[in-house]
């Protein structure tokens, strides 16, 4: 009982969105007079010249909403400039994404466009209001190795410290690639980092919808699955606040309307042990933006039994840090989907952890684990020291 009280406290308080960011979200999203009040309060309480990076990402959407409300303000020229920069940068990323989709399409590899690109096209319907640092494309597990080969041939290179091999593919969901012009994209073989089994994405593929992107045939998630992805992906600690998931969820719910299948949403969370993430994000949306969620859905999600390691994984995710990163949360998630009987034995978990680390770090041998651990610790300590010097 104490454990669940601790988790519920994290649900209420650890989404990492500040009071000023909440004002900005209301000003950027709401279509009522509350948006104008929120904008005035935000401007009074925040020095826009010293704005944080997460809030700056909201400026293009804020710009569009202030235009909707016919607001005249000296800051509008600044927001317009940020919007134009976002539009230009996104256009470049869409162009690069089309080249990747074409490569896969010609090879007969089925693709799914995820996250920012799909949200911009289907829900925001404006390529400038949602800034993107990269783009995300998913392929099936059977197509992963051919897809990697095609990317390498086309000049894309893996861009992460960990390797991309058969070991990391067992516990990771995606890998970042970069081209010669520093464009980046995430190649997914699973939708969710929390659930990486061979069949974990079959349901998403089966219910996906066709998407024609400037003449290239691909697919994307349906409305319900888009909402699910945003809600469970948005919660959790991040160096830069992931506050824009609130806007993403709000625009999906506004555009999709009655086509959201709430029973499916609840089932997806239950089957993947993600009910705590779904509960926290839905409750937050209801409170911040007065978005209506059927009370029966909230009650059903509240009643979903929570595994001990789901609670541990969620709490670790909400309270991540720069030293351990997502490793604790990822390990608890691994226990849930790869070793569901691990609740029974402490020693069993002790044996599983080296196995997980081997996959997580891409080590071909258990004997490489000590060297990898030392290397990771040195890198983390060096990063922390440099960060402290920069902040001094």
Q: List the CATH number of the domain containing 104.
A: 3.30.460.40
* Residue 148 reports pLDDT greater than 50: yes
Same-domain pairing of 129 and 267: yes
Same-domain pairing of 209 and 348: no
- How many domains is the chain partitioned into structurally? 2
Same-domain pairing of 123 and 196: yes
Instruction: State which of 54-63, 300-309, 321-330 shows the largest mean pLDDT.
Output: 54-63
pLDDT at 48: 93
Provide the domain limits for residue 364.
320-391
pLDDT at 96: 95
pLDDT at 4: 38
Instruction: Report the range of poorest mean pLDDT among 111-115, 225-229, 307-311.
Output: 307-311
Same-domain pairing of 219 and 279: yes
Where a domain ends, among 278, 308, 338? 308
pLDDT at 1: 36
Quick check: is 382 in a domain? Answer: yes
Quick check: is 70 in a domain? Answer: no
Give dist(CA 269, CA 274) in Å, integer.
5
DSSP symbols for 191-220: S-TT---TTTTHHHHHT-EEEEETTEEEEE
Instruction: Supply φ then ψ for residue 129, to 5 degrees.
Output: -85, -15
Same-domain pairing of 102 and 200: yes
Same-domain pairing of 142 and 262: yes
Of residues 309 and 247, the one with the higher pLDDT is 247
Confidence of residue 346 (pLDDT cuts 50, 70, 90): low
Same-domain pairing of 352 and 239: no
* Residue 343 reports pLDDT greater than 70: no
Same-domain pairing of 387 and 272: no
CB burial of residue 41 (10 Å; 0-12, 13-18, 19+): middle
Same-domain pairing of 262 and 383: no
Quick check: is 37 in a domain? Answer: no
Quick check: is 78 in a domain? Answer: no
Quick check: is 159 in a domain? Answer: yes
* Residue 7 reports pLDDT greater than 90: no
pTM: predicted TM-score of the whole model, two decimal places: 0.90
pLDDT at 341: 74
Give dist(CA 256, CA 279) in Å, integer.
20
Quick check: is 36 in a domain? Answer: no
């Amino acid at each position: 009982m104490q454990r669940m009280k601790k988790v519920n406290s994290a649900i209420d308080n650890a989404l990492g969105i500040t009071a000023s960011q909440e004002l900005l979200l209301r000003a950027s999203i709401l279509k009522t007079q509350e948006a104008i009040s929120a904008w005035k309060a935000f401007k009074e309480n925040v020095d826009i010249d010293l704005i944080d990076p997460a809030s700056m990402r909201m400026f293009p959407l804020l710009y569009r909403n202030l235009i909707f409300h016919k607001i005249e303000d000296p800051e509008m020229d600044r927001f317009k400039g940020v919007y134009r920069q976002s539009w230009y940068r996104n256009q470049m990323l869409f162009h690069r994404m089309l080249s990747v989709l074409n490569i896969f399409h010609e090879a007969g590899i089925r693709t799914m466009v995820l996250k920012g690109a799909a949200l911009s096209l289907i829900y925001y319907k404006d390529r400038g209001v949602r800034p993107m640092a990269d783009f995300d494309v998913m392929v099936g597990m059977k197509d992963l190795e051919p897809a990697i080969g095609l990317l390498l041939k086309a000049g894309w290179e893996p861009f992460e410290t960990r390797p991309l091999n058969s070991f990391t593919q067992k516990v990771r969901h995606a890998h970042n690639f970069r081209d010669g012009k520093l464009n980046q994209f995430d190649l997914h073989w699973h939708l969710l980092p929390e659930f990486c089994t061979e069949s974990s994405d079959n349901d998403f593929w089966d219910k996906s919808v066709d998407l024609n992107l400037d003449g290239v045939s691909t697919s994307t998630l349906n409305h319900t699955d888009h909402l699910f992805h945003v809600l469970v992906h948005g919660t959790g600690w991040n160096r830069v606040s992931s506050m824009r998931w609130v806007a993403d969820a709000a625009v999906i719910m506004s555009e999709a309307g009655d086509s959201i299948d709430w029973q499916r949403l609840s089932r997806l969370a239950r089957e993947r042990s993600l009910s705590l993430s779904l509960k926290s994000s839905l409750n937050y949306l209801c409170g911040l933006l007065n978005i209506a969620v059927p009370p029966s859905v909230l009650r059903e999600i509240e009643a979903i039994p929570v595994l001990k390691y789901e609670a541990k994984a969620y709490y670790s995710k909400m309270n991540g840090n720069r030293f351990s990163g997502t490793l604790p949360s990822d390990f608890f998630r691994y226990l849930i989907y790869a070793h569901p009987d691990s609740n029974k034995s402490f020693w069993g978990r002790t044996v599983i952890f080296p196995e997980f680390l081997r996959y997580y770090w891409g080590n071909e041998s258990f004997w490489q684990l000590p060297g990898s651990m030392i290397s990771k610790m040195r890198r983390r300590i060096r990063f922390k020291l440099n960060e402290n010097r920069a902040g001094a």
